[in-house]
Amino acid sequence: MHSLKTFLSQITIKNFHGEEISKESKEYLYFIDFVDELCSAKNRTILYRGCNPEPIFQTKLFDIQGFSNKMFMLGEKSHLFESNKYPLICIDDCSIAVFEFVFDRFHDKVCNLSFSNPNSLEKVKLFLEANPSINKFFSNKNNKERFINKISAMDDSSKRHVLDYYFSLLHTIGKSANGNSFFISTSKSIKIAEQFKNDGILVITWVPSSERNRQILCYKDINKLDNFIKAIGLPYFESSPYSNQEEVCIKGGILPHYIIGYADKDSFIVNPNLITQISSSYVFESLLEDGILTDQTLFDVVIQKTKYKGGFLCIDGFYLNY
């Protein structure tokens, strides 16, 4: 049995009012049928995120309806959209200033081991030992001009590859390495994601295959870029600081259109928009590809009741800060 189906079979399923959905009800049966189809579908990636959005949502988990309204209207966004300096860096911004920022973060933070957290410090130290080319290149301030010159000569597509490659590494190292990252962390493993849940929630989402290469980056995807990075003469890494976490980085954040629901301490709150759509006539393949129909008319009103400074639009793989 798929791990998602096992997980949902062991937890109480509730609607966004906090009421248990009876296993005999049509809503429950529709939901289980959808999960069966999602688990068996090949053209998707199911992802999990352990987190606690209470501070950013400014709503407590026990207020299920209020919390759900924000989760299923806004989704969850990367730290970039929490920054008081927003919009310091836009998603897919390939300006020279961004690459200067990348070099400086590696030089000043990573290579100089400027981390107060002992665990982060040890992980980065081991990472640099395992990836000497990264350490050698970015620890030398004289290489900054070489780095910028190489990137300046590239087309935009190549620049985005380089940006994703190094930005995802900074993101994986942690918030102290890049507090304004436009990535958000998820995992392909429920067990690993639950380790980050603490007193928060476990968000369950999916990404259709058509968007995979444009919206998400996982460790093995990054490795595919190694040959490209080598070919242009820039340093590459052979092992991630936290490769055991099966991490998948999503650009911008988790869109509500692809959130199945979230689990708190003892229950799973289903996305009400998903229930509405699957309770009427719908085509699974269309829902899988296009996401859950979500009325975001009140998006501006709802986001002002959070600490988010903005959001983003994703149109055919291109991102616009909002």
Over the stretch 185-212, which tens digit does the pLDDT of each residue have?
A: 899 899 999 998 888 999 999 988 766 5
Q: Which residues contact 75 (CB under 8 A, 6 or more apart)?
A: 253, 254, 255, 256, 257, 259
Helix, strand, coil percentages for the chain (3-state, nearest 5): 50, 15, 35
- Whether pLDDT at 86 is above 50: no
Give me the torsion for CA of 89, 92, 94, 99, rounded to 10°: 60
For residue range 220-249, list pLDDT tens digits in order: 455 556 677 888 888 888 766 666 656 788
Q: Please, what is the average pLDDT of the chain?
A: 86
Q: Please check whether residue 176 is in contact with residue 110, taking contact to mean a CB–CB distance below 8 angstroms.
A: no
The string of pLDDT tens digits covering residues 280-292 is 888 999 999 889 9
Helix ranges, the chain (H): 3-9, 26-40, 54-57, 64-74, 96-104, 118-130, 132-138, 143-152, 156-173, 190-194, 209-215, 219-224, 226-231, 272-278, 284-290, 299-303
In the chain, the percentage of residues whose pLDDT exceeds 90 is 49
192's CB contacts (< 8 A; 6+ apart) are: 48, 244, 245, 246
- pLDDT score for 316: 67
